[in-house]
Structure 1
Amino acid sequence: MGQQGQRRPLLARVAARFNRHVLRLRSSRRWGRLVQRRITVVTYTGRRSGRTFSTPVSYRRAGDTVTISVKLPDVKNWWRNFTGDGGPISLHFDGVEHPGHAVARRDDRGRVTVTVALDS
């Protein structure tokens, strides 16, 4: 197994631990409101697996458009479900699930942005 194959499980474990802590902060009485201003939970169905997944992400919202800048996109896979024509997604903020349609784009520098058009 190459070095990349050895690193991925470690990165996956670190990411899972980090996500658990973020979710705890997001739901805490003390820090929840502050964290929820920048962190949402996206829920989607995997294109190949058909399984439902949820993961916390940072976001920016402008009206009915939400922008997610994917950090370390080559390590993460969730955004790949929204390449091409994109697909359905829901985001949890303001205490409510908001359905929408997400499209992922990679720029010429390798940065990935997922743009979500919220359903009206």
Structure 2
Amino acid sequence: MAITLGSITRSVNGAVVALTGMPVIGGLMRRGFVEVTYVGRRSGKTFSTPVFYSRKGETITIGVAMPDNKKWWRNFLGEGGPISLHLDGIDRGGYATARRDEKGRVSVRVLLDQPS
């Protein structure tokens, strides 16, 4: 079996998600990482991936490192779309919009739904 960038990425993402669930290190990991789940705009399939984030109240900001090598954030260009985040031990829904600035940096802004 050949090692590809995709297989390495899946392995690293799986390790990050596993670490966020561990008793001691999980709390530290969850301060900076969150797992997002979304439906692909073209495939209609559900995907989950861990991302680094910052939070201010009910707004989550995700800075996309190396955006030209990633596709997930493109689901939220233009009008944006729904997203789910596993945040503070629970799943929270929200609405995400992505933008690229004049320097090519990409950020995804998520406005969280009100908890029920």
- TM-score (normalised: structure 2): 0.92
Match status 1:23 vs 2:30 = no
Identity %: 53
Q: Give the corresponding residue for 1:86.
A: 80
Q: Which runs of 5+ in 2 are unaligned?
A: none
Q: Offset at 1:21? A: 1.1
Aligned residues: 112
Q: Give the SS at the match of 2:44.
A: coil
Q: Offset at 1:10? A: 2.8
State the alpha-carbon separation in 1 of the partners of residues 86 and 18 from structure 2. Answer: 15
Q: Offset at 1:27? A: 0.9
Q: Offset at 1:14? A: 1.9
Q: Offset at 1:29? A: 1.5
Q: Offset at 1:30? A: 2.2
For residues 81-111 of structure 1, what are the alpha-carbon distances to aligned partners after superposition, in whole Å with 9 as ceiling and x for unaligned? Answer: 0000000001111111110100000111111
Q: Give the SS at the match of 1:116.
A: strand
Q: Which runs of 5+ in 1 are unaligned?
A: 1-8
Structure 2 counterparts to residues 42-81 of structure 1, below 5 A: 42-81=36-75
- TM-score (normalised: structure 1): 0.89
